[in-house]
Structure 1
Amino acid sequence: MPATSNGSDEGATSQAAPSVPDTPRRTFLKSGTGLAALGVVAAAGVGYLLHQPGNDRQLVFGTLGDAMREVDRLAGASASASVSALAPATVWNWSQTLEHCAQSIEFSLQGFPAPKSALFQNTLGSAAFGVFALRGRMSHNLAEPIPGAPALDASTPDASVALVRLRKAVQDFATHAGPLHPHFAYGALSKTQYEHAHAMHLANHLSAFDVRG
C-alpha cells in the first residue's frame, strides 16, 4: 500500500497492513454484530477509536521507521519555515503531539495507567483495531488524551525535549525483547501488531501537521 497524503509527505512510506490473525476477531468484524458494535462505539462518543478530523493529510505508515522519517522531515524544518497544525485537525501543538505519541509507546512497554475493561478490549476495542489494520489507517480524536496519562504540557513551544523522548521510546520499543502490555483499548497485541498500531497512531497525528514557510 503506497503512502498517501493530501499535502507534502516526503519520506512517508508504507508496508502492507498485517492481517488480523485470530479467527474470533475476524469473525466479529465480518458479522453484523461487529459492524453494529463499531457504530455503538461512535454513537457512545468513544472518540479515541472512531473519529475523522478535518484537514487531514491522510498519511499511511506500516512501520515505526516509516513514521519517524516523517517526524524527522517535519522536525528538520528550516529557519524560514515551521511545523504548523492544520486547523481544525488538531488543537494540540507540535510538542504536545510528540509527547502524546511517546506516551503511547512507553505505556506499551510499562503498562497503561487506566485500561478499559477486558470485555471492552476483547470486543469493541479489538474490533476497532481489526478495522484499522485491515484498511491500514486509524482515525481517532486528536485531542483525546490516553486515559490516566499525565497531562501534556501546553506551555512549551520548543519541541526538542518531546522529540528526544519520542525517539527514545521508539528505540526502546525496537530493542524490547520481553512481553508487551495490553493496549488500553485494543487489548493484547503481538509486537508486529503493536508496531503497526503505533505507526498508525503516529500517521494519524502527523497528518494534522505540515511544514509551512
Structure 2
Amino acid sequence: MQRRTLVKGAALGGLALLGGGFWALPGGPRPAAVSLEGALAVLGTLQGMTLRSLKGWSPSEVFNHCAQSIEYSMEGYPALKPAWFRHSLGPAAFAVFSARGAMRHPLDEAIPGAAPLLEPASQAQALERLQVAFERFAAYGGELQPHFAYGALDHGEYARAHVLHLYNHLSLIRPA
C-alpha cells in the first residue's frame, strides 16, 4: 500500500514539475519557423559570418553537436538512457518542448557516448556538416532510431526536436 502511494506521489510530482517547466520555457520569437526549411534558412544566413559564443562551446562545436544528433537519429545513438526513462520522463519532456515550441537543456552537455566535437574544426566546415545533416534528414525515408532520451519519434517529431534543439543552441551564438 505504501509503495503505491509513493509511486502516485512521484508521478504527480513529476507532472507538476513538467507543467511548471512548460511555463518557464521561452515562448517569444524564434529565429525562423519551427521546420526543417526554417532551420536551413537560418543556417544559410550564418554562412560566411564570423560567429562567437556567449558561453560554453564554440560555434563549430555547437554545429558539430547538432549535426551529431541529427546523424544519430538515422544511424543510432551510441548510448541510450534506461528504457524506463525513454518511456516516461523523456517523452513527457519532449511533449512539453513540442507544445511550447521551445526547448531548454544544458547547452554544454554532450550526447551520451558521442565522439568529441572536434571534427570538422573550422566553423565553416562544421556549419556545412550541419546543413548536410539537415538536408539528409529531410530526404531520409528509412527507419529512425530511438532518441537517447525521448525514445521512439516519428519523422515529424524528430524534425521538430532537431529544429528546437538547434534554436536552443543558437540562443548563445552571435556575430563576432
TM-score by length of 2: 0.81
* Paired residue secondary structure (2:87): helix
Percent identity between the aligned chains? 44
* Paired residue secondary structure (2:60): helix
Amino acid at match of 2:154: S
Aligned positions of 1:164-203 closer than 5 A:
164-203=128-167
Aligned length: 161
2:44 is aligned with 1:72: yes
Q: 1:150 aligns with which of 99, 115, 123?
A: 115
Match of 2:77 in 1: 112
2:106 is aligned with 1:138: no
Q: Distance in 1 between matches of 2:149 and 2:69?
A: 12
- The alpha-carbon deviation at position 36 of structure 1 amounts to 4.1
CA contact (8 A) 2:65 2:117 kept: yes
- The alpha-carbon deviation at position 34 of structure 1 amounts to 4.0
In structure 2, list runs of 5 or more residues that go unmatched.
Answer: 1-10
Amino acid at match of 2:60: S
CA contact (8 A) 1:38 1:127 kept: yes
More helix by percentage: 2
CA contact (8 A) 1:59 1:207 kept: no
Structure 1 58/208 Cα, relative in aligned 2: closer, same or farther at 3 Å? farther
Match of 2:4 in 1: none
Deviation string 1:74-131 (CA, Å, 9 cap, x unpaired) is 2332xxxx21212xxx310011110000000000000000011111011110100000
In structure 1, list runs of 5 or more residues that go unmatched.
Answer: 1-30, 43-50
* Paired residue secondary structure (1:66): helix
Q: 1:85 aligns with which of 53, 72, 90?
A: 53
Q: 2:68 aligns with which of 83, 94, 103?
A: 103
Please provide the CA RMSD for this pair: 2.6
Match of 2:12 in 1: 32
Q: Distance in 1 between matches of 2:154 and 2:13?
A: 25
